């Protein structure tokens, strides 16, 4: 029984191939402004959510672009509970999106995945009944559970992610990565997102369809 598998073989593995593909097999761009963390407070970070580069694609079947944005992300979630507000929450994160534009009159390529990718997300919630319980014994206030202090934290993380750009034809393509920081908090709670540095790399590769030799 023949098994078919699709693998990505990166061009320029050997020195001779690197010379042969030197005109456009790899490109990159960088936003060097960096997030800082000083005593729990975020500073600086990238303020313009876009990083661009270009790639020249050679002719041939099975050519794809492997695009990888790598980023440092800082998240601040400061939550407070008090006698007037027994539950507090804050959320901060950032989503990255890939956009590829034909620059030589080609048809639009296929971008995979074609939706925003969460690079970082944190949600924190604190709940307590201690303030009500101060006025009475914990067992009187809640005979079943007594006094409580609840801390809830949810985290998503990527830091880098590979996009595959397929259905390409010979010519130039513009590659742009955008990121959208988001925060959610109600005073006195605060939330902040900081992005940077960010490195965007793009590499030309070729997909091989093999009949034998690889099985999963």
**Residue 216 is assigned to a structural domain of this protein:** no
Mean pLDDT (whole number) for 52-73? 89
**Residue 170 is assigned to a structural domain of this protein:** yes
- The per-residue pLDDT for 19 is 30
Most confident of 1-15, 45-59, 67-81: 67-81
- If one counts the domains in the chain, the total is 1
**Residue 215 is assigned to a structural domain of this protein:** no
Average the pLDDT over each of 64-73, 84-93, 204-213 and give the range with the smallest value. Answer: 204-213
Q: pLDDT of 145-196, one tens digit each?
A: 666 678 888 888 989 999 999 999 999 999 999 999 999 999 889 999 999 9
Q: How far is CA 199 from the centre of its chain?
A: 12
**Residue 25 is assigned to a structural domain of this protein:** yes
**Residue 38 is assigned to a structural domain of this protein:** yes
pLDDT above 50 (res 24): no
**Residue 46 is assigned to a structural domain of this protein:** yes
**Residue 167 is assigned to a structural domain of this protein:** yes
- The per-residue pLDDT for 135 is 63
**Residue 177 is assigned to a structural domain of this protein:** yes
Domain assignment of residue 129, given as a range: 5-209
* Better-predicted residue by pLDDT, 62 or 108: 108
């Amino acid at each position: 029984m023949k098994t078919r598998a699709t693998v990505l073989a990166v061009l320029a593995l050997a020195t001779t191939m690197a010379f042969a593909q030197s005109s456009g097999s790899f490109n990159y761009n960088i936003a060097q402004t960096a997030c800082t963390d000083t005593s729990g407070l975020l500073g600086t970070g990238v303020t313009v959510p876009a990083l661009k580069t270009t790639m020249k694609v050679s002719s041939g079947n099975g050519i794809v672009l492997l695009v990888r944005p790598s980023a440092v992300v800082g998240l601040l979630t400061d939550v407070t509970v008090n006698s007037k507000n027994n539950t507090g929450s804050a959320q901060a994160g950032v989503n990255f999106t890939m956009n590829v534009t034909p620059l030589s009159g080609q048809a639009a390529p296929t971008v995979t995945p074609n939706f925003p990718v969460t690079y970082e997300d944190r949600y924190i919630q604190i709940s307590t009944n201690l303030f009500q319980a101060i006025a009475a014994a914990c067992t009187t206030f809640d005979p079943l559970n007594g006094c409580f202090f609840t801390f809830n934290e949810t985290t998503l993380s990527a830091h880098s992610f590979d996009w595959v750009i397929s259905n390409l034809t010979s010519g130039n393509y513009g590659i742009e990565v955008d990121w959208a920081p988001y925060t959610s908090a109600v005073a006195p709670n605060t939330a902040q997102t900081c992005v940077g540095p960010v490195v965007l790399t793009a590499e030309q590769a070729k997909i091989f369809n093999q009949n034998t030799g690889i099985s999963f």
